[in-house]
């Protein structure tokens, strides 16, 4: 049995000492129900029923923890027969982990699950260490990755929603009463009520700011629509290689690392395709299993780039052992956003990281792609690529161009030498693919035009009255 990445990392030697610059020492726990214990309402499958391997889930949790620069001392897989209401884990397992924490001087325990506030508090007491769950970890990563004002606001909104959900009666130290000054609430308001109200006030303020951002985005989107270049959006599971592919296609330098959530804020770039067509390519935040609801909601404005896209490239890490389960997660989130994952005319699967496949696996992937084509037609056929080596990218560019050409006729327009107004109109309302000037001064322009502008273009340039003008 091959050694997993997490086992290899756990065996790395650790330097002694806890100096001022030392990293936080962390332990990652993967507490997963065994198959027989899985019951309705408990997530162990992807949304479409594809089962996840516990080892792959723990390795992903290890990667998440590594994304915030922790010193991960060990990752531990815990198989559960049932979930304990008070501590999530059984008593014996809690004591075993507590001994490990004391022996290794662990500062932080990351539980790859959703903990209730009571469970979190009880585990912190038993472990004498800080405990966070999967949602808290993802929020921390997002907080560190946000590079724009919008991203920071969205993360803060999600974090406040999470904090608000943590304010429960079990936190007895919050139950003390305080007198009110009117603007802080009525007399006798408890501390927990004050905390909840202050959080809600801040959330309301952020939501207003994000509405302004949304309006600005809408204006930018409207201006992009006026310049008729198709929008192509990249989506996919986190660390599937979207940013590497984005950099390959655009020759840009977006942060692209072997790291979960390397990209958080959306990035837009213009790309010229093989036959002169131009597109706007958008890179978006990666998706992940069990993505907290408040994060999907908070990042909806960012993900609206996906909703407005003419073509969506679903980038998949085809070499990942949980590739099928990841597919189910991405399709579920796309569905939540209002995108039909089965609309193959609008959604193109890009099977990335082909360079990590051996010959047999690559041949199997190609066979699977051919079968998909036979079942769904040309539009259902995935494109196999390696964004790292460039393998398959020419085929991908051709497929993008072919998909976008559907319903967008290519027309040849001839303008008189002095028809500058007509040339300006073409640049404003169509995609100019090629322009040349003949010996007699006539300007020959090849354009691709969106269906909604085709009739106006024909009236202006191709009908007899217009041609003789």
Annotated binding residues for Mg(2+) = 243, 263
Nearest CA-CA partner of 351 in 338, 334, 368, 337: 368
Helix or strand holding residue 383 (H, E): strand 383-384
The two three-digit tokens of residue 461, written as one number: 């340039």
What residues form the annotated binding site?
236-243, 261-265, 283-286, 352-355, 386-388
Q: Give 185-253 as a DSSP string.
A: BSTT-BHHHHHHHHHHHHHHHHHHHHHHHHHHHHHHHHHHHHTTPPEEEEEEBTTSSHHHHHHHHH---
CA distance 87 to 116: 9
Q: Is the torsion defined by CA of 345, 267, 354, 248 positive or negative?
A: positive
CA distance 18 to 105: 10
Residues β-bridged to residue 51: 45
CA distance 214 to 222: 12
CA distance 192 to 170: 11
In the three-class reduction of DSSP (H, G, I as helix; E, B as strand; rest coil), residue 398 is classed as helix
What residues form the annotated binding site for GTP?
236-243, 261-265, 283-286, 352-355, 386-388
CB 88 within 8 A of CB 119: yes
Residues β-bridged to residue 30: 77
Q: Residue 117 to residues 120, 357, 387: CA-CA distances in angstroms? A: 5, 43, 42
Q: Give 360-371 as a DSSP string.
A: HHHHHHHHHHHH
Nearest CA-CA partner of 84 in 113, 55, 47, 51: 113
Q: Residue 156 to residues 118, 130, 202: CA-CA distances in angstroms? A: 23, 21, 9
For the chain, counts of helices (H) and of strands (E)? 16, 13
């Amino acid at each position: 049995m091959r050694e997993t990445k997490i086992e290899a990392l756990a065996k790395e030697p650790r330097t002694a000492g806890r100096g001022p610059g030392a990293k936080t020492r962390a332990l990652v726990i993967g507490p997963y129900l065994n198959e027989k214990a899985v019951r309705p309402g408990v997530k162990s499958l992807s949304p479409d029923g594809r089962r996840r391997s516990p080892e792959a889930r723990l390795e992903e949790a290890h990667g998440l923890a590594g994304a915030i620069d922790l010193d991960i001392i060990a990752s531990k897989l815990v198989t559960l027969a049932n979930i304990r209401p008070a501590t999530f884990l059984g008593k014996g397992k809690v004591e075993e982990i507590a001994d490990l924490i004391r022996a290794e001087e662990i500062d932080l325990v990351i539980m790859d699950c959703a903990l209730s506030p009571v469970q979190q508090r009880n585990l912190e007491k038993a472990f004498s260490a800080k405990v966070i769950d999967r949602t808290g970890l993802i929020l921390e990563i997002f907080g560190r990755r946000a590079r724009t004002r919008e991203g920071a606001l969205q993360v803060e909104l999600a974090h406040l929603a999470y904090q608000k959900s943590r304010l429960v009666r079990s936190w007895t130290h919050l139950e003390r009463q305080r007198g009110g000054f009117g603007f802080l609430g009525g007399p006798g308001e408890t501390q927990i009520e004050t905390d909840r109200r202050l959080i809600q006030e801040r959330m309301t303020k952020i939501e207003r700011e994000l509405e302004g951002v949304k309006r600005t985005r809408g204006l930018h989107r409207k201006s992009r629509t006026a310049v008729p270049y198709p929008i192509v959006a990249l989506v996919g599971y986190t660390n599937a290689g979207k940013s590497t592919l984005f950099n390959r296609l655009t020759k840009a330098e977006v942060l692209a690392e072997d790291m979960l959530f390397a990209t958080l804020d959306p990035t837009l770039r213009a790309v010229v395709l093989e036959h002169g067509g131009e597109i706007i390519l958008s890179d978006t935040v990666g998706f992940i299993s069990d993505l907290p609801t408040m994060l999907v909601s908070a990042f909806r404005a960012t993900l609206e780039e996906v909703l407005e896209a003419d073509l969506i490239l679903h980038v998949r890490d085809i070499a990942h052992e949980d590739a099928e389960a990841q597919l189910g997660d991405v399709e579920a989130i796309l569905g939540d956003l209002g995108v039909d994952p089965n609309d193959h005319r609008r959604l193109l699967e890009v099977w990335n990281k082909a360079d990590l496949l051996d010959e047999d696996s690559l041949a199997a992937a190609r066979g699977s792609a051919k079968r998909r084509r036979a079942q769904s037609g040309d539009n259902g056929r995935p494109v196999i690529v390696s964004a790292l080596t460039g393998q398959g990218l020419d085929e991908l560019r051709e497929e993008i161009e072919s998909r976008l050409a559907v319903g967008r006729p290519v027309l040849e327009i001839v303008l008189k030498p002095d028809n500058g107004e007509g040339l300006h109109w073409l640049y404003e309302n169509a995609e100019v693919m090629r322009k040349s000037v003949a010996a007699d001064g006539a300007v020959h322009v090849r354009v691709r035009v969106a269906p909604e502008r085709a009739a106006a273009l024909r009236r202006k340039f191709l009908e007899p009255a217009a041609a003789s003008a």
